[in-house]
A and B are shown apart, each in its own frame.
Chain A
Amino acid sequence: MTNATRIAIVDESPVRSAILEEGLRDAGYTQIIVIGETSGLLARLQAIDPDMIVIDLENPSRDSLEQMFHVSRLVSRPVAMFVDQSDSPMIAAAIEAGVSTYIVDGLKQSRVKHIVETAIVRFNAFTKLKQELAEAKSKLEERKVLDRAKGILMRVKNISEDEAFRLIRRAAMNENRTLAQVAQSIVTAAELLR
């Protein structure tokens, strides 16, 4: 099933907008325009004339967008600012996910909800992805420090890598610290003693 609802995604994060675009396409929406640049945003939106605008909350252009809807001569069709007053859990979920939507009057309520739900799911998926990436990165950093600490112990005490690791692990257990913390102390101490 394809759907002709025209959706503009305003987001400076190319990865997040790609994730959302994919989600909307999977749901059958084919008319999706991604705007990454916020300069000249209003002119772009007037040209696109979307049925719905999805914008991330980190975007400072939200205030400009809202003013555009107040000044009727700038838009050809009236805009409803959000789903509807009765649907506050959905509003809260969207704001918490970091996304806001503007809807042109006349768009079907069920369709609006569907799009907003997709946006919430995809924004949350992106946030999770970002967290995982940050965790993986810090794990990699910890790994590097541990390797350096083992190298230092192996050199200074003339022991094997396994023995070096056991020493670090024992110190961590005795002092109730993490492997990374102990490794970092060894690296710092070695730098000071150099």
Chain B
Amino acid sequence: MTIPLRIGFIPLLDAALLVAARDEGFAEAEGLRLDLVREVSWANIRDKLNVGLFDAAHMLAPAAIASTLGLGHIKVAISVPIALNLNGNAITVSRPLYEALAAEAATAPSQDPRASSAALKRLIGRRAAAGQPPLTFAHTFPFSTHHYQLRTWMAAGGIDPERDTNLVVIPPPLMAKSLESGHVDGFCVGAPWNATTIAAGHAMIMHHGTQIVADCPEKVLGVPTRLVDERPETVTALVRALAGAAGWCADPANRAALARLMARPEILGVAPAIVEMILAGALSLGPAAPAAPDLAYIRLDPAALRPIAAQVDFLLAQMADAGQLASPGAHRADAHRVYRPDLFECAGVTAGQTPIPQPFAARLRDGR
């Protein structure tokens, strides 16, 4: 008997495991039929999980924790039996901002996020002194790694994002347009929306997410906790299907096929060549393409998927830094119950140990 599962996703490359599980037979092999529903907002994903319109969803890791804690909204208890990827974000800035930062920095600003942040701090000071309006940076959701990576980058140079900049939220597919129209000066967003923006020519990628935080938790499979309690075997079957899909996605021989799957109009609606370039880690940085591809730019391999407690601690620290937790200690136990490495183990997936997130740990790209 086939079990149907309705799963919400946002058009982002890190929905890849869900798409590959559905279209490459991994779900079917587990007796599951995935009905993937494209959504336009993370708020919709949370709400449809809450009322039972979705059985599971592609979720921002911090949003799964925030929903469970009831931060900024009613409590929606979510469990995370498997992650969907690590990394995948980048900070992209407008051409004028990139050039202004290049003029402030001693070296090419994309080389070192701490140096570029210091340059941004000086630029902000200069702009304020000249009576110019604050720079506007966009991310995708209050409880998102994009938000936290922007803050981590800014904090390195001593910038207070609340006081010194204007932080706004823009849906990922609309980022490029906002930059082009001058509504925002820079943003942090997931793949493929940085690559599509620079392809249009009016922006530069400032930093890969991996330069800010290496092995950063990103999207997870969010399952309503009541479903995990009622149908644990269905959840572990889904975990196995997704882990199987990860093995397929991580094989370079399948890169072109995966790019074609994800590029389709009903998933991302972008050129397959752009997706393939991102999967190969060949996303250009600043004005010069990287000397060597960054294979960790987005990690969809099985060793990226075990949900680990160190990631919850990392995310709680990020939420606290962003002023989203009134008393971080009080939430700790509840937050840790969201991640369910036990369900991952139950599924019998063999995968390497997921690495612990590390701010500013990435090697400098080519030392130039």
Contacts and interface: CB of A to CB of B under 8 A. Distances in A.
Interface stretch (B49-57, B98-106, B108-116, B188-196): B49-57
B52 A70 contact: no
B51 A62 contact: no
A174 interface: no
A91 B74 CA distance: 10
Most buried by A among B44, B140, B170, B324: B44
A85 B74 CA distance: 6
Contact of B73 (A42, A71, A82): A82
Contact of A81 (B73, B162, B324): B73
12 contacts: A42-B168, A57-B40, A57-B44, A59-B41, A63-B41, A63-B43, A65-B43, A66-B43, A66-B72, A67-B141, A71-B167, A91-B47
A180 B138 CA distance: 52
A85 B169 CA distance: 26
Nearest to A73: B162
Interface residues of A, number: 26
Interface string B275-295: 000000000000000000000
Interface in B37-93: 40-44, 47-48, 50-53, 72-75
Interface in B119-139: none
B169 A81 contact: no
Interface residues of B, number: 27
Contacts of B48: 95
B141 A62 contact: no
Contacts of A176: none
A17 interface: no
Interface in B160-175: 162, 167-171, 173-174
B41 A60 contact: yes
Contacts of B72: 66, 69-70, 81
Nearest to B144: A63
B73 A91 contact: no
B142 A70 contact: yes
Contacts of B169: 63-64, 66-68
Given A67-B167, A70-B142, A73-B162, 6 more contacts: A63-B42, A63-B169, A66-B43, A66-B72, A91-B51, A96-B51
Interface of A: 42, 57-71, 73, 81-82, 85, 88, 91-92, 95-96, 100
Contacts of B52: 92
Contact of B41 (A62, A71, A85, A92): A62
A81 B50 CA distance: 14
Contacts of B47: 57, 91, 95, 100
Contact of B74 (A59, A69, A81): A81
Nearest to A58: B40
Given A63-B169, A67-B169, A91 B50 contact: yes
B75 A63 contact: no
Nearest to B322: A70
B171 A66 contact: no
Given A64-B169, A69-B72, A81-B73, A95 B142 contact: no
A99 B136 CA distance: 30
Q: Which 5 A-B pairs have the closest CB atoms?
A: A67-B169, A60-B171, A92-B51, A62-B41, A62-B43
Interface string B144-187: 00000000000000000010000111110110000000000000
Contacts of B75: 85
A66 B142 contact: yes
A100 B142 CA distance: 18
A57 B167 CA distance: 23
A149 B168 CA distance: 58
B40 A59 contact: yes
A58 B37 CA distance: 13
Contacts of A73: 162
B170 A64 contact: yes
B51 A95 contact: yes
B54 to A, nearest CB: 10
A44 B44 CA distance: 22
Most buried by B among A60, A69, A73, A92: A60
Most buried by B among A58, A64, A73, A82: A64
A68 B169 CA distance: 8
Nearest to A70: B142
Given A82-B74, A91-B51, A96-B53, A67 B44 contact: no
A60 B40 contact: yes
Nearest to B174: A60
Nearest to A71: B167
A113 to B, nearest CB: 15
B43 A100 contact: yes
